[in-house]
Chains A and B, each alone.
Chain A
Amino acid sequence: MIQVLIAIPIFILVTIIQTAIISNMPLLQGTADIIMLVIIAWALQEPVRTAWYWSLIGGTILGFTSALPLGITIVSYLIITGITLIIRRRIWKIPALVMLAITFIGTLFHQGLSAITLTLLGTTLPILETLELIIMPSILLNILLAIPVFAIVRDLAAWLHPEEVEI
């Protein structure tokens, strides 16, 4: 239970960092998404069984702080978690490399879903400019931050899931 509840203060803290610092450091018009990175990194940790809960909590908290429709963040983070868990089962020996790969796929999926939804809601988003100014720079920033976030989350997972020693 503690492994689920601790996600609330962690994501509140991460959201504060995201809105106050990370979103103020754009590359062109793209920004990193450390909430998504934390969700992916958490789902990649071997002993973790609470990835879906973390994804739901992270998506909900982000949804309340963003002007994006609430459902977008929740749905896209849940789908990204699903993809992460599937890939983790197949490639479990090199999680750091998987982290980079899923960061690429996840950012593309999350930003793509946001763009499609906003277009359906009536916002004009030119495809080429969206790709060049938002999606590609966001992917680059997320990949740059992926490994540091993975390292921090791995330590957190080790602290919350101490290894059992047989005596």
Chain B
Amino acid sequence: MKKIPLPWRTLTFSLVAIGLVILALGGYLTPVSRVALSPIISVQTWVSDRFQAVQSLLTAPSDTVQVLQRNAELESEIAHLRTQIIELQQQLAEFRILSALLDFARAYPEYQYTGASVIGRDPSPFMKYIHINRGSDDGLLRGMPVVTQQGLVGRVAQVTASAALVQLITDPGITVNVQLDPSSAESLLTGSITGDINLDSIPQEANIEPGELVLTSGLGGNYPPNILIGQVTGVRSQDYALFQSASVQPIVDFSRLEIVLVITNFQPIDLSPLILTPSAR
């Protein structure tokens, strides 16, 4: 066989190579390359997978320990972050309450307030009283009204140096002079052992409708006027009775009291010297 001269061989290979490059750039070799490369890639993938499997098998013990350590660290961090979230949620809830109390204080600028946390409830189920963490050292006196951002809570019943007992308006032993809005009828609010509050002594001629607002009237001198208590939910009126009565939905949720305000510049008036006793008549 006659040997092709070297310059011609070089020229031929160059032309073939240039032709293949041009065909490849033109996209004409794509089906060919796909068919040709597919088995090669499959084999490479298989080899690579097996290598990685063997590698992970050989290095597994040290990695497992590291992973477990890292997992413990991350779990610890998650627990810490969860604690922080709970603390922040508590602070946020407290901030919201304080913000609402501040709004209330701004709405009634004529009064001075002392904020107090509710630290307990009366151990006797008959007594609707709460314990607060402010006492005579903070300027609290017996009879001072206690409110929240929503409305009237009760009044200070007993005071020690650093704590006080507050009688709630749901206590069966309490009576509050109230007026209704918009009818302007005067009434007496009383608590009960069920925790409900009721209105008594509503004049028969008063036209009371459910939905009327119940506010302190200031009569009797025990509470400042115009502090919201609740809303009338039902009226009981009988033709032969002297007065009407009504049930009231309190605006304050007494089961969830956390922070309250004591009005410190309101001094209740003691009317007992004005009440005639049989001997004085």
Contacts and interface: CB of A to CB of B under 8 A. Distances in A.
Contacts of B192: 124
B127 interface: yes
B122 A23 contact: yes
A157 interface: no
B4 to A, nearest CB: 104
Nearest to B157: A67
Contact of B123 (A66, A118, A129): A66
Interface residues of B, number: 22
Chain A residues touching B, range = 20 to 34
A123 B123 contact: no
B193 A125 contact: yes
Contact of A114 (B119, B126, B167): B126
A114 B193 CA distance: 13
Contacts of A24: 121
Centre residue among B121, B126, B193, B194 by max chain A CB count within 10 A: B126
Contact of B120 (A20, A30, A62): A20
Interface string B159-202: 00000010100001100000000000000001011110000000
A115 B123 contact: no
Interface in B114-136: 119-127, 129, 131
A5 B129 CA distance: 29
**Main SS of chain A's interface residues?**
helix
B123 A65 contact: yes
Main secondary structure of the interface of B (DSSP, over half): loop
Given A126-B193, A129-B194, A68 B126 contact: yes
A80 to B, nearest CB: 15
B125 A125 contact: no
Contact of A29 (B119, B123, B157, B193): B193
Given A18-B123, A122-B173, A67 B129 contact: yes
Contacts of A75: none
Interface in A107-155: 111, 114-115, 118, 121-126, 129-130, 133-134, 138
Q: Which of B122, B125, B194 has the most CB of A within 10 A?
A: B125
Nearest to A117: B126
A35 interface: yes
Contacts of A31: 123, 125
A67 B193 contact: no
A121 B172 CA distance: 12
B27 to A, nearest CB: 79
A100 B124 CA distance: 20
B118 to A, nearest CB: 10
Contacts of A130: 193
A47 interface: no
A71 interface: no
B131 A19 contact: yes
Interface in B185-237: 190, 192-195
A29 B120 CA distance: 16
B173 A62 contact: no
B122 A66 contact: yes
A15 interface: yes
Interface string B38-64: 000000000000000000000000000
Nearest to B163: A65
5 contacts: A29-B194, A65-B122, A68-B124, A111-B126, A124-B172
Interface of B: 119-127, 129, 131, 157-158, 165, 167, 172-173, 190, 192-195
Nearest 4 interchain pairs by C-beta: A19-B120, A23-B121, A67-B127, A67-B129
